[in-house]
Chain A
Amino acid sequence: MLAAAKMIHSLFLVNASGDIFLEKHWKSVVSRSVCDYFFEALERATEPENVPPVIPTPHHFLINVLRHRIYFVAVIQSEVPPLFVIEFLHRVVDTFQDYFGVCSEAAIKDNVVVVYELLEEMLDNGFPLATESNILKELIKPPTILRTVVNTITGSTNVGEQLPTGQLSVVPWRRTGVKYTNNEAYFDVVEEIDAIIDKSGSTITAEIQGVIDACVKLTGMPDLTLSFMNPRLLDDVSFHPCVRFKRWEAERILSFIPPDGNFRLLSYHVSSQNLVAIPVYVKHNISFREGSSQGRFELTLGPKQTMGKAVESVLVSSQLPRGVLNANLSPSQGTYTFDPVTKLLSWDVGKINPQKLPSLKGSVSLQTGASKPDENPTINIQFKIQQLAISGLKVNRLDMYGEKYKPFKGIKYMTKAGKFQVRT
């Protein structure tokens, strides 16, 4: 029997127009013609995100993810858990984003050598080796404008002179010898509301998903504990590997040696037993009449349960039926656009003023002679509420052990709309 080579064989990066702009092989080279199967699937798919994540071909399997309008296509030769590959590809994208600020075709092309060095370290023979951002940054320094200038003048390199001792550590997520003059630890509690609201305005389903993102810049090896006033709210949690699970199980306290820099400490789900406060409501009247080439379109937004906080950065978007030719609307505030090709209506509302509710009114014109569309558009809403965790979650205190200095601590709360849809 021929030895089955497992895990990731090769990686191709494909841009939105279907060009392969980067390839990397961890084993024998696989011809890029294997991507033809991917292109076929791409053509069949009506939308870019409808390409099946796993595409079987006669000799290989293609597993792809789409992010930032780039397809990351991994070539697999034999059985491997698909999520293993998908999760890894997303980790690659996260790393690129971390290194270059954005993960775009241009950024990847500009930094192709760093990209190659990163990919080389992240996989050995197709099996993940170093995926922890702290370890990678010790090995390969992220490019900065200053360093690029210095490097061109002095001829020095991006490759760390140090050896990656982090790989040998029991806390692989943290670099050793971290030093800061200002020691700070910031935590952002960000909650997103996923909801489906039906025609009449009642909630069909609503749930809160939250994350705690941290930016920790502390000297040495600090050991932090973070406790909550109401930890019972957290129904289902997933941790950064640094969090001590037993401690959470026993005391509902987050105890951890933090990675250096930005990281996601915790994601949580607020139990669906709790009623979710819905901060905005939408009044809508969208109607098409049989025989008429005009349809009526009216939207009004208003604040609902906002705990006295302002609802900001409101953005409404809606996919109008295919029969709609154009929209002639007037917003009471903000601006709206309608793309006649994609039929996407979007209205940048801004802040909701409870005294003067924002509205968008007018008419939409339909194709003449076409029958009235029998489907109704759904309305997607985005918004932000600063200084509020809609679930009511509150951090009690943050303590640091293991180091002598007094760090500066900060906690910020924010609520956002996740997948927030209103059916009409």
Chain B
Amino acid sequence: FLFYIFRHDDLKEMLDSNKDSLKLEAMKRIVAMIARGKNASDLFPAVVKNVACKNIEVKKLVYVYLVRYAEEQQDLALLSISTFQRGLKDPNQLIRASALRVLSSIRVTIIVPIMMLAIKEAASDMSPYVRKTAAHAIPKLHSLDPEQKDQLIEVIEKLLADKTTLVAGSVVMAFEEVCPDRIDLIHKNYRKLCNLLIDVEEWGQVVIINMLTRYARTQFLNPNINESLLEENSEKAFYASDDEEEEDKKAEPATLAKRKPYVMDPDHRLLLRNTKPLLQSRNAAVVMAVAQLYFHLAPKAEVGIIAKALVRLMRSHSEVQYVVLQNVATMSIKRRGMFEPYLKSFYIRSTDPTQIKVLKLEVLTNLANETNISTILREFQTYIKSMDKDFVAASIQAIGRCATNIGEVRDTCLNGLVQLLSNRDELVVAESVVVIKKLLQMQPEQHSDIIKHMAKLIDNIQVPMARASILWLIGEYCEHVPKIAPDVLRKMAKSFTNEEDIVKLQIINLAAKLYLTNSKQSKLLTQYVLNLAKYDQNYDIRDRARFIRQLIVPTDKSGALSKYAKKLFLALKPAPVLESPFKDRDHFQLGSLSHLLNAKAAGYQELPNWPESAPDPSVRNVEVKDSIPDWSKCSSRKDRKEKKVEKPFYSDSEGESGPTESADSGNFLISLFHRMSHVLLHHSHSEQSSSAEDRKRGRKAVKNQKSASESESESESSESEEESEEESEEESESDTNVRKKRTPVLKQPPKQSKKESKKETQEMSLLDLDDYEPAPASASVTPVNFLSSSLVSDLEGLSLTDTILAPTTLAPSGSIKMYELLHRIKGEGLAVEYCFSRQPFSPEPNMVAVQIQFTNNTNSETKNLHIEDPRLQSGMRIREFAEIDVLAAGESVTVVMGIDFCDSTQAANFQLCTHTRKFFVSIQPPVGELMTPAFLTENDFKKEQGERTSALSRFNTHSCPSDCSFSSKHLSFFSFYVAVSL
């Protein structure tokens, strides 16, 4: 004990020293103590001091310690929290992630609000790795404080919409743990999850597949509902127990009534198609997950493909074999045909562990039918010679089951078993007796010689179960062996007191039955046995003796029942059904722990029954995906797109093009180009008067874009290459192609407007597309109305050189882009975004209106929000917004300020101040946003328009427009002019 105190003092000293090497040594020793299960909690204060240590290994070991002991030392643990809170705001994503990981692992209830906030923030972090960590943190917080469930579900919902493979597995895991019954959250993400699945890391795949199995069971129809019932019945002719058949009969009219052509939901098909390649995974858990999915969801004809993969798993470690065999055993009852070709893979080797042998035996028995029974029985014969006696016993039972199930071999089996009765090993004999007893019950008349043979065995065999079985047999069929039976009873009466209880009960039974059939010979013996039993130590036996005496021995007092004694005792008893212990185990989801244990484990989610009629499939429609087919119909590249959706083992588009790029972005990009090309084609075609040359150019442009998109989706080149390609293309386009190409397009609007002058939004958004290509790289894609926000953010992700996706929030209208002024991590909870509202700034007509949105993500109020110390280029002016006094926690507020950029694209720098902090921020206008409002009559507008269009070539040479915007009722033209003047 003293030694320990000394040692710990030693460690404390080392931890307090200045040298990292000493600290490290101390931490290593402490961790070794923890690993051995020794208590190191008294070192907590000394250790926690080092939480901010510069040395990475010391830091990591401190984390290990902290996570282990924080729960026990809650107050002291709080000392470390600020370090992690600082870490959460680190510019490095990996440090943010690790801070969140440790923070969420500290099980201290008092920090629940801090954790909640951290998770919420991390869930919208720009780094997918941090978002993944946030998903991991959700179950931690949930188990710490289940009351946070509702808030956590919101976060889960948000993360489920995430399109990166990194996040998918983790968030589904969180979903399964926190709200597995909220199937409705999955609808919109279902197709995405199916498509991402192959690229998700293997552990995530398991979780997703299991969840989707349950999902599919609630949303789709049973694919086997209309399968020929006849076939089904013949399939399970041998195994179908009576009640099962009855069930079928009951089900039959119902199914017949409902029978109509079954059409599989395309989403159901999608799931089956996308999971199939995963049968080739090296991870046994993934293979098993797919196998159970197919077993529970696939049409009968397709289930077969899983057999090969499952048989492959049997080559793996014995624990894997054990689990796989359990599942194969269950499957082989329902779908025997599936495993028949692999019969030999289940042959048993003497080196297999007993538990594996027994399971293989189970499978072999399930697979036995008329055609293969002779091979299987030959195999069983060798098993009986094994040295492993437990296995021999199981083999004998297996033979018994084959004999009951397959009538043709019953006699062969029985003869074989009778031969075993002369085996030297008593266990073998005993097991055989028990099995023979069951078999004989099926046809006792023909086998009185076997019964005689067994009666002789009673002298030698000691195993109680076997003795009991023999006695029962003789009693039951005493009429077949009238001479032997009383003699056996005589012997048993002698040894009665030394027998085991089950044997004693059977002796009483035998005595009673003999008394009823042959009372002359056995009356006294019976009396004797009953007297012995009367004073037995076991009350069951005493009880039984009293009961039987009352029943069979006629006395004056004996009741009405004794008349029926013979009927009671010698009634014809039904033969036992030898059933597989795995029968009906498939009501548990296969591959689950509950299935393995054949008992519901905590947290098990029932596999729902198929619905009678399918719920509305449109719930899975996602806007973006919906719009794609419409737009791509006229495009020759449709098939290409579809090919993309059906992704290869890992989506080829990814290459090295940056980890944060969502796997889907390729698709989205293509779909965008679809639209663009469509728009261009549309215009050049509808422009009847335009020259053939124009048309050619239009097509050329389309071709250009095609090649660009191709290179992007297919090339495995690095992103920088892609980018440069894109850029260079843009450049060249802007130099020559685009200008020319634009001509026909731009000529068109006036005409069109005349024709369909009041054509509204959609048309407008089409035209809007031509906005695409303004100069500043950060805004190279100007979002347009009909693109969903996700598409926009995807595109932005592509155009950034950085591998990090800028978090984007779009104004509700979608057409105005929000820019970030202050990230909430930098702003310590205060997030500021701005947009150019494209509206006149009334106080000063020269100024551009900038709409600023403040969001307070902290838990406390932020006060006195105002601008200070603007640093502007000469000539630039700023009109501040009125100070915001108070911004409550979680609230947002929007203000408008005016900036006169002097027609330059220089940034306006200023400080954003709260009551506690100041943040340097800057607003740089993209060219297209610099506009002055002007009022024109419709005629003026048209005139102006005509001039602009005809003078287009002149505009092309302009480097930057000064005042290029018009305010007009004809908003649809508005965007054109922006484009033109650029």
* A positions within 8 Å CB-CB of B: 1-7, 20-25, 27-29, 32, 46-47, 49-50, 52-54, 56, 61, 64-67, 76-84, 86-88, 90, 112-113, 115-117, 120, 124-125, 127-129, 131, 155, 157-159, 161, 163-164, 167-172, 194, 196, 198, 204-205, 207, 209, 221, 223, 235-241, 243-249, 264, 267, 269, 272, 319, 321-322, 371, 374-378, 380, 402, 419, 421, 423
Contact = CB atoms under 8 A, between A and B. Distances in A.
Given A61-B593, A159-B57, A27 B143 contact: yes
Given A87-B283, A124-B101, A375-B386, A50 B602 contact: no
A246 B650 CA distance: 9
Interface in B666-704: none
A322 B604 CA distance: 45
Contact of B140 (A125, A264, A269, A378): A125
A7 B285 CA distance: 13
A81 B353 contact: no
A125 B320 contact: no
Given A21-B36, A164-B94, A196 B136 contact: no
Interface string B286-306: 011100000000000000000
A361 B297 CA distance: 59
Contacts of B178: 3
27 contacts: A6-B603, A22-B35, A22-B36, A23-B37, A46-B390, A53-B319, A56-B599, A66-B318, A67-B317, A78-B601, A79-B593, A79-B605, A82-B592, A112-B32, A116-B34, A161-B56, A163-B94, A235-B308, A238-B281, A239-B282, A241-B202, A243-B649, A269-B312, A272-B344, A321-B387, A377-B387, A419-B349
Interface of B: 19-21, 24, 28, 31-32, 34-37, 55-57, 60-61, 63-64, 68, 71, 92-95, 101, 104-105, 107, 127-129, 133, 136-137, 139-140, 142-143, 146, 166, 170, 173, 176-178, 198-199, 201-203, 206, 210, 277, 280-285, 287-289, 308-309, 311-312, 315, 317-320, 322-324, 344-345, 347, 349-351, 353-355, 379, 382, 385-387, 390, 423-425, 591-594, 596-597, 599, 601-605, 648-650, 652, 654-657, 659-660, 716
A218 B56 CA distance: 30
B282 A319 contact: no
A205 B280 contact: no
Cβ-closest 3 pairs across A and B: A245-B649, A155-B21, A78-B603
Contacts of A67: 317
Contact of B387 (A7, A29, A209, A322): A322
A83 B648 contact: no
B60 A6 contact: no
B594 A86 contact: no
A6 B277 CA distance: 27
Nearest to A170: B654
Contacts of A272: 344
Contacts of A120: 60, 63-64
Given A86-B320, A164-B94, A77 B351 contact: no
Given A65-B319, A245-B648, A82 B593 contact: yes
A302 B136 CA distance: 59
A123 B281 CA distance: 21
Contact of A25 (B68, B133, B355, B655): B68
A33 B169 CA distance: 33
Contact of B350 (A243, A244, A421): A421
A286 to B, nearest CB: 13
A6 B280 contact: no
Contacts, number: 279
Contacts of B593: 54, 61, 76, 79-82
B649 A81 contact: no
B591 A245 contact: no
A223 B650 CA distance: 14
Contacts of B202: 131, 241
A196 B289 CA distance: 31
Chain B interface mostly helix, strand, loop or mixed? helix
B604 A244 contact: no
A272 B344 CA distance: 10
B55 A90 contact: no
Task: Give the most central of A112, A169, A419: most B CB within 10 Å.
Answer: A112
A340 to B, nearest CB: 16
Nearest to B210: A81
Contacts of B139: 3, 5-6, 125, 127
A2 B146 contact: yes
A205 B385 CA distance: 19
Contacts of A168: 93, 127-129, 166, 659-660
B603 to A, nearest CB: 3
Contacts of A374: 385, 423-425
Task: Give the most central of A54, A79, A116: most B CB within 10 Å.
Answer: A79
B423 A375 contact: no
Contact of A56 (B284, B324, B592, B597): B597
Given A4-B603, A120-B60, A164-B94, 13 more contacts: A3-B142, A27-B107, A29-B71, A50-B353, A65-B319, A79-B601, A117-B60, A129-B136, A159-B60, A169-B656, A170-B654, A236-B308, A322-B387
Contacts of B605: 79
B349 A155 contact: no
A221 B597 CA distance: 46
Contact of A82 (B20, B379, B596, B656): B596
A248 B280 CA distance: 11
A6 B597 contact: no
B282 to A, nearest CB: 5
B71 A28 contact: yes
A113 B28 contact: yes
Given A245-B198, A245-B280, A127 B170 contact: yes
A223 B354 CA distance: 46
Nearest to A49: B353
A32 B280 CA distance: 38
Contacts of A235: 308
A50 B166 CA distance: 38
B646 to A, nearest CB: 9
Contacts of A78: 601-604
A24 B597 CA distance: 26
Nearest to B107: A28
Contact of A157 (B56, B288, B654): B56
Contacts of A246: 648-649
Contacts of B55: 157
Contact of B716 (A20, A27, A223): A223
Task: Give the most central of B56, B63, B308: most A CB within 10 Å.
Answer: B56
A79 B603 contact: yes
Nearest to B34: A116
Contact of B32 (A84, A113, A167, A245): A113
A54 B136 contact: no
Contacts of A269: 308, 312, 315
Contacts of B289: 81
Given A3-B177, A23-B35, A163-B94, A378 B353 contact: no
Task: Give the most central of B35, B107, B353: most A CB within 10 Å.
Answer: B35
A86 B319 contact: yes
Nearest to A54: B596
A169 B659 contact: yes
A247 B652 CA distance: 11
Contacts of B660: 168
A47 to B, nearest CB: 6
A157 B57 contact: yes
Contacts of B285: 81, 83-84, 86-88
Nearest to A126: B139
Given A6-B139, A244-B652, A245-B277, A264 B203 contact: no
A421 B312 contact: no
B282 A267 contact: yes
A139 to B, nearest CB: 9
Contacts of B656: 169-171, 221
Contacts of A205: 344-345, 347
